Amino acid sequence: MIKILSIFTVLLTLLSCTKKAESDRDHLVFRYNEHGNIPTLDPAFARNSQAIWPDNQLYNGLVQLDDSLNIKPDIAQSWTIDDSTNTYTFTLRNDVYFHQNVAFAKMDPDGLPRYTRKVIASDFVYSFDRLTDEKVASSGSWVMNYVEKYWAEDDHTFIIRLKQPFPAFMGLLSMRYCSVVPREAVDYYGNEFRRNPVGTGPFQFKMWEENVKLVFRKNPLYFERDENGERLPYLEAVAITFLPDKQSEFLQFAQGKLDFISGLDGSYKDELLTTRGKLQPKYDDLAYMITGPYLNTEYLGFFLGTDTPEIKSKTLRQAINYGFDRQKMVTYLRNGMGIPAIHGFIPKGLPGYAEIDGYTYQPEKAKELIAQYKTETGDTKPEITIGTNSQYLDLCEYVQRELEKLGIAVTIDVMPPSTLRQMKSSGELDIFRASWIADYPDAENYLSLFYSPNFAPNGPNYMHFRNTTFDSIYEKALTISKIEERKILYTKMDSIIVEEAPVVPLFYDMAVRFVNKKVSGLGINPQNFLVLKHVKKSK
């Protein structure tokens, strides 16, 4: 009996020690949930936040963006731009290593095993080649549409020449598509490179049980250091879970099992926030909130290729823009988490945003325009139909109620997101609810939606908007490298969009993060990208 008790005591002691050890190391692990799943960890397919967030921990490119969207050195320590030949010359750091991996296994001259190597310029040639390789079929191949050629001058010099001027190109290079990957690892893992990633980032791949858990460990060879000379990152690990719904994710966060959640879902927005957008007092001891502009414009688009008189009429399109209160929409349907889109299409937080006079709530002006439309067309009972998915039904119903007060009959057609995307692209919807999230941090990305050569389905001009003055200004802006000069032209183009009303801007989105109080250094940025190399956790 005494022997059994002794064994039991030893087991309890071991379990207690194990739990204490796990507790002591908890502050070294950052935990978050990805409810949308992660399809691949190959940066050639980093097309959405589900892939970009983990890829940001695993990979580096030539340049990176800070939280204010300024271009900063990454693997390239410096660069020069020759505007006369559209040539970009990058000088690479000499201290960047790929993650240690069996793919590099070989003996060095001293007979010792070696499991990594330095990054050299030819690695960028290989990585860029993958983007346009038909066998790879990268979703980022479009990034190379602007490039005429690129080559490695030597191990530390990488050169890119563009076909024509494209001032936003440095922003493109900051995208995860342009990350460097090693040929050895892609060759070694083949099609399984997607789940056996090898990069240069602050964290390296450890394990992945798909749809259950993904774990990264600290990269001991990472090249970046903080202002005190300490090697980044501070954390030892990143653990990602895959709970499929936002409500479960929130409950895990409320229990302290996740370190942060991003965004404001309808299932918990009133639980977490007051109607004025403040954190509910009962969560003050658990978390803090970070907010900032998010490069996303939510809007209704008019398909101008239709024969429907209500859509073809600029007068009625303007009336719709004047006909509802965007501030009230944001306050009551978004708990204040948004910025009313009353200054054009370019969102706040982006160089090129200007407080031009857009559409504010003017119901009397809207009624005058509706009366004018009826006189011009003889249509005494204007009717419109808005296509949307269920996630944005409340916004569309609000617009519906307000416009019907003014005499415009509104039908809402709710459909699955995939159907909405397909019908929007093929011009089958007179009006559609949509959003545009910046691919890269330049207002040109937003204005490209209205450039006539970009008609959908071959480009993002889903409205089939055509304006010769707009097109000529757009083309001129592409030849100007100085952002201050381009911003003047961007404002002119945005003013044309306001006047012609091919869209109804609803609100400029806001990035919002709810962060456990043990976490510091997380920050926020207008692209809402997750960057963990500066994060610390207290015990």
> Could you give the number of structural domains in the chain?
2
Q: Are 223 and 93 in contact (CB under 8 A)?
A: yes
Q: How far is CA 272 from CA 261, 393, 537, in A?
A: 11, 22, 22
The mean per-residue pLDDT over the stretch 137-150 comes to 94
The mean per-residue pLDDT over the stretch 445-456 comes to 96
- Residue 94's CB is within 10 A of a number of other CB atoms, namely 12
Do 42 and 153 lie in a common domain? yes
CATH number at residue 40: 3.90.76.10
User: For residue 9, is pLDDT > 80?
Assistant: no
Query: pLDDT at position 117, please?
Result: 94
> Is residue 401 a part of any domain in this protein?
yes
> Is residue 3 a part of any domain in this protein?
no
**Whole-angstrom distance, CA of residue 90 vs CA of residue 93:** 10
Question: Residues 188-214: pLDDT tens digits?
Answer: 999 999 999 999 999 999 999 988 999
Do 406 and 483 lie in a common domain? yes
Do 463 and 531 lie in a common domain? no
> Is residue 246 a part of any domain in this protein?
no
**Helices 314-322 and 363-377 sit at what angle, rounded to 10 degrees?**
160
Q: How many residues does the chain have?
A: 539
Closest CA to 50 of 183, 242, 285: 242
The stretches of 232-296 forming alpha helices (DSSP H) are 246-254, 269-272
Do 479 and 525 lie in a common domain? no
Closest CA to 159 of 65, 259, 243, 79: 79
pTM higher than the cut 0.95: no
User: For residue 23, is pLDDT > 60?
Assistant: no
Category of 269 on φ-ψ map: left (φ > 0), alpha (ψ -120 to 50) or beta: alpha
Residue 391 CA from chain centroid, whole number: 19
Do 101 and 53 lie in a common domain? yes
Query: pLDDT at position 24, please?
Result: 60
Closest CA to 138 of 179, 196, 174, 188: 179
DSSP string, 151-164: EEEETTEEEEEESS
**What amino acid occupies position 359?**
Y
Residues with Cβ within 8 Å of residue 509, at least 6 apart in sequence = 293, 294, 295, 296, 297, 298, 338, 339, 347, 435
Q: Which of 6-15, 335-344, 521-530 has the lowest mean pLDDT?
A: 6-15
Question: Residues 512-528: pLDDT tens digits?
Answer: 999 999 999 999 999 99
The mean per-residue pLDDT over the stretch 414-443 comes to 94
Question: Residues 257-300: pLDDT tens digits?
Answer: 999 999 888 788 888 888 778 899 999 999 999 999 899 999 99
Do 449 and 525 lie in a common domain? no
The mean per-residue pLDDT over the stretch 424-430 comes to 96
Query: pLDDT at position 296, please?
Result: 93
> Is residue 164 a part of any domain in this protein?
yes
Category of 205 on φ-ψ map: left (φ > 0), alpha (ψ -120 to 50) or beta: beta
Do 213 and 112 lie in a common domain? yes
Do 532 and 506 lie in a common domain? no
3-state DSSP assignment of residue 306: coil
User: For residue 36, is pLDDT > 90?
Assistant: no
Share of the chain above pLDDT 70, in %: 94
Residue with the two structure tokens 């050629």: 149
Phi, psi of 468 (to 5 degrees): -65, -35
Do 192 and 316 lie in a common domain? no
User: For residue 348, is pLDDT > 90?
Assistant: no
What's the domain range around 67?
28-238+518-537
